[in-house]
């Protein structure tokens, strides 16, 4: 059985009624459902972080110039701070749901719902963005990008294949995640390490090509780059499926984030130094272009494109699971429609189905509406919606630190306070860097969520009133 953990004795009390999620009585056992150990949990974090973003973002941030490498460094510090915060929160409360669980336990139902709603939006919008990025590499192997319809159909197929793996059960999700994570490191390490031997500073281009100040350029490029670090919370969101979650979630989160950061920094630097700046700005497959530059011909780029597709498919596999986990946890507490609490073979199948349907509709709309730079638009919206649960989780940790419940270790308190402050400042900075358009669209998504919450809360209140009337 999957244990969802218990609320720690030091958890803050509230006047609101908060039901601790109980075990799912349907379909949670059997040979298709399996709990994750530290290796698979780490692979889930790294696989979700290192997905489509790294394979396309060098081209997306190239217009800002090499100042974006500074943004990568700052972003890495913030991502590791977030990883440490999630590790501490998971040790306190190792239930499935991640930011939703932490926000609800600290601040109540409404904050928990906002975290769950924003994170759910993040997952299906990012799935659409990942599929768009994957089409760019598929086009290297099979010409599908020349027409909107063929590109759209390819992107939809890339989203539904991982969904089918999720419907098969957590056993298959973990296997696909582990294999794809291992395979993706081949092209990444080839470019990240091998590219340093072909590095040519003359290809780097200008330091700041954005036309704005250095601080503004760093913030703007960081907003795009955050998409590459989405997934730092993966183990925390799936904590109920991780063995010895209080210990392994934190370890998997920190190890996975640090490993991904190292690969990211070296890989982006190598692409910048091997592909000429003017060519990189218009590239749809920058890692393929880098390998072709390093070795000549097109065979290397074809191999990288194939490995990139494997990587992105694995990433979509992991994100599809995460997309259903937070709504599942919220539905168990009555804060999402009850259908999202249905689980089969360890996977919340309704959540998976609804999420992949929404991401498919968004993908089709963005392709067929003729909007340019589909990937960048989706990434910036995702950046804003991701910072909402990140900030709520971080402030939940601040709440626990300031409330001072239980014995206090002064050295640990100072260390955790510094780390949490960095993570909070980092989240706010990223929200500002997403830009007015992304914040506008993201806020509209959140406002729709408030209406949904009002309806669900009213229905729950009516049920509770009816129950009280019968007593």
Q: Which spans in 281-373 are helix H?
A: 286-295, 299-332, 349-368
33, 41, 133, 373 from 242: Cα distances, Å: 12, 7, 30, 38
From CA 86, how far away is CA 141, in angstroms rounded?
Answer: 39
Instruction: Count Cβ atoms within 10 A of the Cβ of residue 471 and give its class: 0-12 exposed, 13-18 middle, 19 or more buried.
Output: exposed
The 3-class SS string of 244-256 reads CHHHHHHHHHHHH
Distance CA 432, CA 410 (A): 33
What token pair was written down for 346?
A: 């360890």
Write out the two tokens for 246. Answer: 């209080």
Residues 173-203, buried b or exposed e (16+ Cβ, 10 A)?
bbebbbebbeebbebbebbbebbeebeeeeb
Residues in the chain: 471
Spatial separation of the C-alpha atoms in residues 92 and 106, rounded to whole Å = 12
Q: What is the pLDDT of residue 370?
A: 61
Residue from 216, 271, 217 nearest 54 by CA: 271
First to last CA, the chain: 34
Please, which residues have CB within 8 angstroms of residue 201's CB and are 6 or more apart in sequence? 273
Give the bridge partners for 36, in sequence order. Answer: 242
402: exposed, middle or buried (Cβ count in 10 Å: 0-12, 13-18, 19+)? exposed
Query: What local confidence, expressed as pLDDT, does residue 392 receive?
Result: 93
Inter-residue contact 128 to 378 (CB < 8 Å): yes
Each residue's pLDDT expressed in tens, for the chain with a length of 471 residues: 333 333 333 333 333 333 333 344 344 444 444 566 777 778 778 777 776 566 667 787 888 888 888 888 888 888 889 888 988 888 888 887 788 889 999 999 999 999 999 988 888 888 887 887 788 778 878 877 667 788 888 888 888 887 877 776 655 566 666 666 667 677 777 777 877 888 888 777 777 776 677 777 787 777 677 767 777 887 787 777 777 778 888 888 888 888 888 888 888 888 888 888 888 887 777 877 888 888 776 676 677 778 778 777 777 877 787 788 888 888 888 888 888 888 776 678 888 889 889 888 888 887 777 655 666 677 777 778 888 999 999 999 999 888 875 555 677 788 888 999 998 888 887 777 677 777 888 888 889 999 989 988 888 888 877 776 654
In the three-class reduction of DSSP (H, G, I as helix; E, B as strand; rest coil), residue 3 is classed as coil
How far is it, in rounded angstroms, from Cα 66 to Cα 88? 34
């Amino acid at each position: 059985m999957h244990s969802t953990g218990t609320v720690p004795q030091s958890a803050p009390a509230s006047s609101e009624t908060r039901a601790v999620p109980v075990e799912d009585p349907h379909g949670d056992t059997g040979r298709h459902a399996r709990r994750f150990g530290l290796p698979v949990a780490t692979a889930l974090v790294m696989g979700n972080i290192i997905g489509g973003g790294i394979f396309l973002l060098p081209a997306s941030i190239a217009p800002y110039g090499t100042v974006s490498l500074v943004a990568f460094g700052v972003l890495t510090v913030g991502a590791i701070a977030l990883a440490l915060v999630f590790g501490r929160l998971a040790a306190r409360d190792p239930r499935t749901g991640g930011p939703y669980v932490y926000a609800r336990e600290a601040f109540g139902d409404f904050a928990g719902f906002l975290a769950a709603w924003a994170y759910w939006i993040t997952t299906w919008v990012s799935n659409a963005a990942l599929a768009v990025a994957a089409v760019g590499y598929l086009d290297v192997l099979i010409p599908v990008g020349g027409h909107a319809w063929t590109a759209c159909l390819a992107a939809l197929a890339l989203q539904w294949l991982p969904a089918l793996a999720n419907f098969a059960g957590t056993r298959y999700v973990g296997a696909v995640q582990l294999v794809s994570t291992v395979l993706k490191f081949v092209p990444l390490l080839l470019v990240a390490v091998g590219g340093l031997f072909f590095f040519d500073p003359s290809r780097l281009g200008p330091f700041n090509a954005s036309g704005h100040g250095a601080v503004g350029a760093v913030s703007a490029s960081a907003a795009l780059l955050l998409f590459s670090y989405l997934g730092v919370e993966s183990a925390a969101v799936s904590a109920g499926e991780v063995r010895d979650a209080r210990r392994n979630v934190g370890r998997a989160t920190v190890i996975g984030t640090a490993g991904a950061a190292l690969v990211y920094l070296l890989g982006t630097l190598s692409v910048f130094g091997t592909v000429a700046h003017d060519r990189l700005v218009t590239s749809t497959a920058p890692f393929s272009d880098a390998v072709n530059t390093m070795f000549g011909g097109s065979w290397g780029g074809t191999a990288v494109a194939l490995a990139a597709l494997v990587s992105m498919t694995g990433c979509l596999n992991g994100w599809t699971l995460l997309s259903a986990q937070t709504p599942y946890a919220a539905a168990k507490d009555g804060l999402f429609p009850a259908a999202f609490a249905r689980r089969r073979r360890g996977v919340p199948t309704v959540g998976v189905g609804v999420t992949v349907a929404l991401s498919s509709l968004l993908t089709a709309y963005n392709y067929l509406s003729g909007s340019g730079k589909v990937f960048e638009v989706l990434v910036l919206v995702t950046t804003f919606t991701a910072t909402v649960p990140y900030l709520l989780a971080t402030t939940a940790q601040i709440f626990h630190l300031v409330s001072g419940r239980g014995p206090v270790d002064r050295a640990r308190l100072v260390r955790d306070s510094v780390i949490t402050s960095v993570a909070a400042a980092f989240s706010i900075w990223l929200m500002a860097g997403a830009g007015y358009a992304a914040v506008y669209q993201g806020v509209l998504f959140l406002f729709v969520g408030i209406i949904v919450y009002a309806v669900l809360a009213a229905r729950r209140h009516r049920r509770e009133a009816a129950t009280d009337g019968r007593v």
